[in-house]
Chains A and B, each alone.
Chain A
């Protein structure tokens, strides 16, 4: 909302947290966690994305309509990922005609 700006301090804290998470993800990346390496990388990236959206983009202070757009974008992205990977992941599970 106009006038509902966050303080300089909150921006600096967000910046520090993002740098700390970047350092963390590099350090965790050096550990071999198997498939967990990609999982941890994307998990920490999601945490960083939430910080940027919440504080730099003021997503939480916006109108309900804007929150609906954000939720819609995420929902449709998840539908795309779920249906696509649901197909590719399960293809090897059982033989199917024409294979």
Chain B
């Protein structure tokens, strides 16, 4: 007989399953609003990309494809460790889950570090609109617009990553404290969904900013 308190069942829910579904449903609703947030930015990017294809291709050709590809691999690896940590807790291997959560947070920090190295490189090369922007290309003004989109969209993504790393670290501590077990680890699942969603956003950012101008 499972101790009811072990299931962390709140009084408004009839069953642990109903409680889990409500929490997951809430996280998906939140992610739907995030689709709207990033979706508006992607739509605006599409409009400007069609209006100024040359300048946007020039801007994209400036991107550091090596660092971008490494960051993509790092983020995909962090999604793997996130999924595996939930799996580990679900089969009652809390220590493994704890270590995998730490690995997830570490990979998230590696991603952010590489991202800021790139930002610094753009700044050094005078590709920071509003602060210092110099280009001898004929489409300099259009390139500047590309960089505005680049900094706003990857910046929004980096903020999401920072929040994600904090959430994962809190969950790692709670896992170490023994708060989660196979019967109850809904917070892990909810943050996992958020983490994977942020990964999906990066996949599209990588495509539109790094890949599209690679042939130039």
Contact = CB atoms under 8 A, between A and B. Distances in A.
A14 B17 CA distance: 27
B76 A41 contact: no
Interface in A13-45: 14-15, 18-19, 22, 25-26, 28-33, 37-38, 41-42, 44-45
A5 B24 contact: no
Nearest to A25: B211
B214 A69 contact: no
Interface string B58-97: 0000000100010011001101101110110011000000
A45 B215 contact: no
Contact of A18 (B28, B31, B76, B212): B76
Contacts of B80: 11-12, 14-15, 56
Contacts of B211: 25-26, 28-29, 37, 41
A49 B46 CA distance: 19
Contacts of A32: 215
Interface residues of B, number: 54
A68 B65 CA distance: 37
A: contact size bracket = 35 or more
A12 B29 CA distance: 28
Interface of A is mostly: helix
B200 A74 contact: no
Contacts of A70: 28, 32
Interface of A: 1-3, 5-6, 8, 11-12, 14-15, 18-19, 22, 25-26, 28-33, 37-38, 41-42, 44-45, 48-49, 52-53, 55-57, 62-63, 65-66, 69-70, 72-74, 76-77, 80-81, 84-85, 88-89
20 contacts: A1-B17, A5-B90, A6-B83, A15-B76, A18-B79, A19-B73, A22-B72, A22-B76, A22-B206, A29-B214, A29-B215, A41-B207, A45-B206, A56-B79, A56-B83, A57-B193, A66-B28, A76-B39, A81-B46, A85-B50
